[in-house]
């Protein structure tokens, strides 16, 4: 199950990178080069969402779900592991005055 989720996670990650790189920016026209936004909204004009924005949304949701799923599966199967497990501490307590 873990290998299947890792495979899906990698495929979705590569797909998400490709879809984001194919999109154009909000201010891709000539007015955007000079700082114009074309509307008085806070973040610029919002057009109708096209296929690329929907694909980005759905692939981001799948990416987050596979990330959470992998975290849960690996934490249950691995037991109690710590990054600092097996290291010796050299810290001493300060002397009282």
Does residue 18 or residue 90 have the better pLDDT? Answer: 18
CA distance 65 to 9: 9
CA distance 17 to 19: 6
- pLDDT single digits (tens) 23-77: 877 655 555 556 555 554 555 555 557 888 899 999 999 999 999 999 888 888 7
Confidence band for 12, pLDDT divided at 50, 70 and 90: very high
CA distance 75 to 81: 9
């Amino acid at each position: 199950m873990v290998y299947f989720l890792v495979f899906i996670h990698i495929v979705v990650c590569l797909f998400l990178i490709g879809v984001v790189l194919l999109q154009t920016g909000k201010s891709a026209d000539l007015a955007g080069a000079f700082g114009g936004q074309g509307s008085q909204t806070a973040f610029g004009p919002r057009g109708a969402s096209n296929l690329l924005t929907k694909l980005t949304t759905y692939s981001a949701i799948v990416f987050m779900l596979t990330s959470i799923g992998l975290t849960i599966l690996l934490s249950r199967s691995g037991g109690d592991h710590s990054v600092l497990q097996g290291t010796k501490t050299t810290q001493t307590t300060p002397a009282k005055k």
